[in-house]
């Protein structure tokens, strides 16, 4: 069985367990990506009902704060990667993990502000604000839950090493999922 360069020599049972965990994570992420893709398709279908998007009389969403939030999320991915590689190399749990948590919290705060200030009207054009709120709330809930998981990993950081790094790897993979899902939503909500 082929091993990653950074992985220590694991027993056959440990390798099988790790492989099963990684397979389970991949299945989980694929299933959730389908949900996110469905939300994007709903967004595009609702847009199809209007001659312009946003509908007439509804202000277009600004790009400043969401772009800042997106850059923060991308930077957090870099810090998560550094922390994961440090643990897998049997180095001390990196402060990069906490930096990723801080950037993720900043992302959530900015998106909460955006969510609270989404344009809502009393007529048929309210679909613009409703679709925006559903998509951002769905993503924010995922980011918050995964962020809480990452916080839990951080609380037990002394426990992780190259031989026992699955919780850190799982947190990193889940956070990469948050980033990938947001890039899709950001593109649809703010650019298209």
Is there a contact between 114 and 66 (Cβ–Cβ < 8 Å)?
Answer: yes
User: How far, in Å, are 116, 130, 171 from residue 177 at the CA level?
Assistant: 24, 24, 10
Peptide bond into 119 cis (omega under 30): no
Q: pLDDT confidence of 11, banded at 50, 70, 90? A: confident
The pLDDT of residue 56 = 79
User: What is the predicted pLDDT for the residue at 84?
Assistant: 95
Mean pLDDT over residues 1-25, rounded?
73
pLDDT (tens digit, 9 = 90+) per residue, 46-86? 888 888 888 877 778 889 999 999 999 999 999 999 999 99
The domains of the chain, with CATH numbers, are 12-191 (1.20.120.80)
Q: Which two tokens stand for residue 30?
A: 């694929």
User: What's the mean pLDDT when you consider all of the chain?
Assistant: 88
In the numeric block, the tokens 């897998």 are attached to: 88
Contact 47, 39 (CB under 8 A): no
Q: Would you state the pLDDT for residue 3?
A: 47
Residue 143 CA to residue 60 CA, distance in Å, equals 25
């Amino acid at each position: 069985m082929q091993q990653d360069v950074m992985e220590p020599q694991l027993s056959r049972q440990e390798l099988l367990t790790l492989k099963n965990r990684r397979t389970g994570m991949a299945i989980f992420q694929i299933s959730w990506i389908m949900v996110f893709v469905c939300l994007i398709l709903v967004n595009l279908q609702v847009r199809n009902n209007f001659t312009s998007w946003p509908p007439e009389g509804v202000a277009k969403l600004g790009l400043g704060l969401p772009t800042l939030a997106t850059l923060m999320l991308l930077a957090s991915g870099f810090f998560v990667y550094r922390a994961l590689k440090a643990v897998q190399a049997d180095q001390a749990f990196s402060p990069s993990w906490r930096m990723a948590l801080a950037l993720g919290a900043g992302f959530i705060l900015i998106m909460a502000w955006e969510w609270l200030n989404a344009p809502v009207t009393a007529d048929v054009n309210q679909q613009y604000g409703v679709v925006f709120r559903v998509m951002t709330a769905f993503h924010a809930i995922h980011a918050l839950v995964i962020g809480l998981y990452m916080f839990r990993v951080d609380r037990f950081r002394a426990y992780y090493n190259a031989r026992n790094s699955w919780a850190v790897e799982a947190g990193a993979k889940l956070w990469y999922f948050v980033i990938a899902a947001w890039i899709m939503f950001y593109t649809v909500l703010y650019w298209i």
